[in-house]
Amino acid sequence: MSAERCAHDAGCITCGDAATRTRVLEMDAARRLAVCVDADGRRETVDLGIVDAVAPGDALLVHAGTALHHEPASEDAHRGDGMEVPA
């Protein structure tokens, strides 16, 4: 894990009460985990324990490896965000 991996822009995600937008690529529904990608192409495993009914392609707001907020792909107006979208 590199120092920049902990960073959101120039700050620390945890310390700044910040969150990163990611998109869901794959899911392990039984374990409530997802592999997500952010706008810079970085992938991470995300805990889905506190959000509902996530599907591949949905957008998540992630803080310290946990999804805080879920926006279904159907409500996601901005697709031109540079993040991968699963086929």
Binding site for other proteins (CB under 8 A): 1, 3, 5-7, 9-19, 21, 39, 44-45, 47, 49-51, 59, 61, 63-66, 68-69, 71, 76-78, 81
Nearer to other proteins by Cβ, of 29 and 50: the residue is 50
Nearer to other proteins by Cβ, of 17 and 41: the residue is 17
- Rg over alpha carbons for the chain, rounded to the nearest Å, is 12
Q: Tell the smallest beta-carbon distance from residue 19 to other proteins (Å).
A: 6
Taking CA atoms, 75 is separated from 42, 58, 69, 72, 78, in Å, by 23, 9, 13, 6, 9
Q: Tell the smallest beta-carbon distance from residue 87 to other proteins (Å).
A: 19
- Of 83, 32, 28, nearest to 58 by C-alpha is 83
Q: Are 44 and 62 in contact (CB under 8 A)?
A: yes
Nearer to other proteins by Cβ, of 26 and 81: the residue is 81
